[in-house]
Amino acid sequence: MGYATDDQLDLASLLRELRVDSGLSLRVAAPRADLSAPVLSRIENGQRPPGSIEEIEKLLDGYGTSGEQRARALQLTQNVLAEQERTEHWSDAYVDLLPASYVEYIKLEDEAESVTEVQINGLPGLLQTERYARAITQRTYAGSAERVEDLVAVRLKRQERLRGESPLLLNAIFTEAALRTQAGSPQLMHQQMQHLAVVARWPRVDVIVIPFSTAVDAALASTFTLFEGVGGRRPDRPSRAALVEQGAVVTRTITTDDLFVSRARRVIQRLRHAGLDADQSRKMIDVYVEYWGTRD
């Protein structure tokens, strides 16, 4: 994490004191605010800022905190969150955790008007539930449990771009294999499919599933994300496009070269042609909701 302000350190110390006084362990207290014990520990040590005022309110409710102590904790939280807003970007708080290319990816995603993400055998991060994201991260990241939780928190924070006053237009393209591949327990997969079925019907989310019958057309495609209209929401910047390719060896390669952007657009058109239309894709997702539900 980046530099912790005095308010953040004061908040961390106060929250730790309140939890200890209430007689609750990290393991018992954390779920009351929808947190994990490692994440709450990092908040109490000033290594991670609170995610929201609601998160701290839930902790204070669990500790039975009222009066001046509650008012002080909430004021410190508001100060910390306000300071975060004044920084260049929220992802700066994770500079010690995230590769520079991922931070740039997040900032492109935040500035773009639309994003087309192509995943061959997995689900785009913006569509993942917390449990699915954790299961995937635990399998692909060799770091500590605390780091895993931070990576999951970052992924969930990114998903806020799908909501709000100016939601991101997301075009998600993936193969049927992503719906069939078991990333965790059948219950986890059932919940993920249910979430996907809901989000796929949001007005600013366009999901295209490439079925097994035409998946050969996606075999040579790589995992990549095309950002369109980057900077378009800011009148002081010209709108642009950017391409991010992902691989197993070189994790992220970012380019704004028109040649590669044009190639990516052609690949997207080919994959759209191979995939089901939006309505058929939603129906296929519904099939997998039922499929995993029978194994739950």
Give the residue from 87, 114, 146 where a domain finishes: 87
Rounded to whole angstroms, the Cα distance separating 109 from 169 reads 10
Answer with the one of 69, 87, 105 that is the final residue of a domain.
Answer: 87
How far apart (Å, rounded) are the C-alpha atoms in residues 156 and 34? 12
1 in Cβ contact with 39 (< 8 Å): no
Per-residue CA distances from 157 to 54, 68, 126, 287 (Å): 15, 31, 9, 29
Distance CA 52, CA 200 (A): 26
Task: Say whether pTM exceeds 0.85.
Answer: no
Burial of 239 (C-beta count, 10 Å sphere; 0-12/13-18/19+): middle
User: What token pair was written down for 137?
Assistant: 């991260």
Q: Which has more pLDDT, 83 or 35?
A: 35
Same domain? 235 vs 179: yes
Assign 1 a pLDDT band (cuts: 50, 70, 90). very low
pLDDT at 58: 94
Provide the domain count of the chain. 2
What is the tens place of the pLDDT at every residue in 255-279? 888 999 999 999 999 999 999 999 9
Q: Which residue, 37, 39, 38, is CA-closest to 51?
A: 39
**Residues 129 and 110 occupy one common structural domain:** yes
Q: Is pLDDT above 50 for 2?
A: no
Instruction: Give the Cβ contact number of residue 68 at 10 Å.
Output: 8
pLDDT for 4 equals 59
Q: Residue 249 pLDDT more than 60? A: no
Q: What is the pLDDT of residue 251?
A: 60
Average pLDDT, the chain: 89
Whether residues 155 and 56 share a domain: the answer is no
Question: Is residue 1 one of the residues assigned to a domain?
Answer: no
Q: Are residues 133 and 24 part of one domain?
A: no
CA–CA dist 9, 18 (Å, integer): 14
Same domain, 57 and 111: no
Range of the domain at 106: 95-293
Specify whether 31 is located in the same domain as 145. Answer: no
What is the DSSP secondary-structure string of 4-49?
PPHHHHHHHHHHHHHHHHHT--HHHHGGGGT--HHHHHHHHTTSS-
Contacts of residue 6, defined as CB under 8 A and 6 or more positions apart, other chains included, come to: none
CA 178 to chain centre: 17
Residue 65 lies in a domain: yes
Give the pLDDT score at 293: 96
Q: What is the CATH number of the domain that holds 12?
A: 1.10.260.40
Tell me 114's DSSP state: E
CA–CA dist 52, 80 (Å, integer): 10
Give the neighbor-by-neighbor strand order of the sheet with 169-175. 205-210, 169-175, 114-119, 223-230, 240-246, 253-255
Give the pLDDT confidence score for residue 87 in this predicted structure: 57
Two structure tokens written together for 22: 């209430």
Tell whether 146 and 113 lie within a shared domain.
yes
Residues facing 245 on adjacent strands? 224, 253
Split at pLDDT 50, 70, 90, the class of 83 is confident
For residue 61, pLDDT beyond 50: yes
